[in-house]
Amino acid sequence: MSLLEVKNLSHSFDYPLFKDINFSLQKEETMSITGVSGSGKSTLMHICSTLLKPNSGDIKLFEKDIYGLSQKKLIKIRREEIGIIFQTHYLFRGFSAYENIELSNLMTKNEIDDELLEKLKITKVINQKVGELSGGQQQRVSIARVLAKKPKIIFADEPTGNLDPATADEVINILFEYISEVKGALLLVTHDDKLASRCKYKKNLSIDGLIG
């Protein structure tokens, strides 16, 4: 069973961004997307993760054509079955790190996994308000929030952008371990070529499509 399948996907805003993109991800498969700034990487992630209906093409998640589903079903998939790590993380600033993770778990009724917090090295700051955390700490809280709800597909848009190389490596290891543990799939946008090479498929996005 394909976890994610993209067929004949094209999208434009005021001008064409990309055209005729085709790929699929099965269990335990990972794919990286590199490309110059503005090439449409985040847009492609949004389209694949239920957030933006494309101009043309089909996106299937768990073999369901997502943009043919009712809004209610689409939101259920977004909340419960996929995890989106955004380029700019949307944490609630007035809440503590713990409360932010707790909020996402309330919806899926999962327990917070202390081992995960430890691995991400955020145990010490867990009760601090998000506004008091460094950019890298906030990024790790947002990753904990996504993994805590145990999604099958992770969409990660530059998840290590705010991290030093050593911490970035650890965070990526956690993502890879997670994917093999739950037999899920990972779509990763990164500017880091070395990191991109760790994925099973390594693609570059440009006006000509997804190449690699």
Instruction: Name the residues that contact Mg ion, by CB under 5 A.
Output: 41-42, 87
Task: Report in angstroms how near the CB of residue 88 gets to ligand ATP at its nearest.
Answer: 10
Euclidean distance between CA atoms 97 and 91, whole angstroms: 8
Do residues 206 and 40 make contact, with C-beta atoms less than 8 angstroms apart?
no
**Residue numbers at the binding site for ligand ATP (CB under 6 A):** 13, 17, 35, 37-43, 87
Question: What phi and psi values does residue 78 have, to the nearest 5 degrees?
Answer: -60, -40
* Paired strand residues for 18: 11
153 makes contact, choosing from ligand ATP, Mg ion, none, with CB < 5 to 8 Å by partner type, with none
Instruction: Report the residue number, 13 or 70, with the smaller CB distance to ligand ATP.
Output: 13
71 makes contact, choosing from ligand ATP, Mg ion, none, with CB < 5 to 8 Å by partner type, with none
3-state helix, strand, coil in the chain (%, to 5): 40, 30, 35
70 makes contact, choosing from ligand ATP, Mg ion, none, with CB < 5 to 8 Å by partner type, with none
Task: Report in angstroms how near the CB of residue 155 gets to ligand ATP at its nearest.
Answer: 12
Euclidean distance between CA atoms 119 and 170, whole angstroms: 8
Instruction: Report the residue number, 42 or 104, with the smaller CB distance to ligand ATP.
Output: 42
Do residues 11 and 55 make contact, with C-beta atoms less than 8 angstroms apart?
yes
Task: Report in angstroms how near the CB of residue 105 gets to ligand ATP at its nearest.
Answer: 29
Do residues 32 and 202 make contact, with C-beta atoms less than 8 angstroms apart?
yes
32 makes contact, choosing from ligand ATP, Mg ion, none, with CB < 5 to 8 Å by partner type, with none
